[in-house]
Amino acid sequence: MDDRYSRQTLFPHIGIEGQEKIRTKHVLMIGAGALGSGNAEILTRAGIGKLTIVDRDYVEASNLQRQQLYTEEDVEAKLPKAAAAAKRLQAINSEVQIHAVITDATPEKMEDLVEGVDVIIDATDNFETRMMINDISQKHQIPWIYGGCVGSFGMSLTVIPGKTPCLNCLLKTIPIQGMTCDTGGIIAPAVQMVISHQSAEVLKILVEDWDAVRTSFVSFDLWRNQYSSMKVSKAKDSGCLSCGENRTYPYLDSENMMKSTVLCGRDTVQIRPPHQHDIHLGDLSRQLKALGYSVKGNPYLLSIEMEEQRLVIFKDGRALIHGTKDLTQAKAIYQRLLG
């Protein structure tokens, strides 16, 4: 298939030389959901050298609306997303080395996975992991592409260590927290828009066209026909603990990670966020009820009935997940509903 990449090499900013660079590069994908599966397919079809996919979850029916690599057969088999993605991607392009890692992305795991990586793609569904990616990127001087979407809204940012502000620098100015797709829903076009922004940035980095790399924070709302691009170069903070002059990489510190504990003698896991923050229980209750959850509450807590678990959320962000002793599962449930 000598002409496999012919349309890509005809693009003057890639060409034959750029294609040769692409096929020698290693991309690390954290998350194999909506953003992960879309980015993975684009980059596999583009002919990258190696793709490592990290994901802790398995394929469910609700994924099929927007997670393009998966099928009903994957749902029936309850295949881990990383494994199902790798199988499909190898069928698309057998030349690409696909490495599926079925695990939770922790700081310890990330230290092992970043060796030899040229760029990291954020395809996660929670804030904690994104900030860990940000710190590991700064520590090892590896570019990464942030992406997020919910409802019809999406956003993306390219972080180049040593050149651009990092995500921690921008926390005070950019609204990157809020609803998740489990509480606010999501439409597939918003996913595809974020994927396009992310994968385009990755290709620029892989061919080393640094002048073309976007230096602004982009956000959009497809339903409201809004698009914005915010310059962020002045937001770089010399005092930032992730990328500043006296950096400490706070999000690689286990003390700043979400704490989960199996309660003795009970089929229950307690989740405690690293820093106390008040939750508006009334707003959360209305969001969850609108999604069909059975929610009861009082001024101090909410009790949410799920298919196999019951989640009790306290005003300070602490939660009890009843019906499981699996720390990873409990943590995923918490992040899915609270972000």
pLDDT tens column, 222-242: 999 999 999 998 889 999 999
Mean pLDDT throughout 281-303? 86
Cβ 226 vs Cβ 153: under 8 Å: no
For residue 220 the two structure tokens come to 């959009």
Mean pLDDT throughout 112-121? 96
Between 3.40.605.10, 3.90.1200.10, 3.30.310.10, 1.10.10.10, what CATH number should domain 258-338 receive? 3.30.310.10
Whether residue 1 is predicted with pLDDT greater than 60 in this model: the reply is: no
Rounded to whole angstroms, how far apart are CA atoms 15 and 79?
38
pLDDT band of 329, cuts 50, 70, 90: confident
| Strands of the sheet with 310-314, listed across from one edge | 259-262, 268-272, 319-322, 310-314, 301-305, 294-298
* pLDDT tens-digit series, residues 38-88: 999 999 999 999 999 999 788 888 899 999 999 999 988 888 899 999 999
Residue percentage of the chain with pLDDT more than 70:
93
Rounded to whole angstroms, how far apart are CA atoms 244 and 165?
9
| CATH code for residues 6-252 | 3.40.50.720
φ and ψ at residue 196, rounded to 5 degrees = -60, -45
Mean pLDDT throughout 80-102? 95
Per-residue pLDDT at 265: 59
Cβ 300 vs Cβ 315: under 8 Å: yes
Mean pLDDT throughout 20-26? 98
Per-residue pLDDT at 131: 92
φ and ψ at residue 259, rounded to 5 degrees = -100, 135
pLDDT band of 127, cuts 50, 70, 90: confident
Please provide the average confidence, as pLDDT, over all residues in the chain. Answer: 90
Rounded to whole angstroms, how far apart are CA atoms 76 and 98?
23
For residue 318 the two structure tokens come to 């602490």
Whether residue 161 is predicted with pLDDT greater than 60 in this model: the reply is: yes
Domain boundaries, the chain: 6-252, 258-338
* pLDDT tens-digit series, residues 237-263: 999 999 999 999 999 987 777 677 776
For residue 276 the two structure tokens come to 């106390």
Mean pLDDT throughout 203-218? 96
Whether residue 176 is predicted with pLDDT greater than 80 in this model: the reply is: no
Rounded to whole angstroms, how far apart are CA atoms 225 and 242?
35
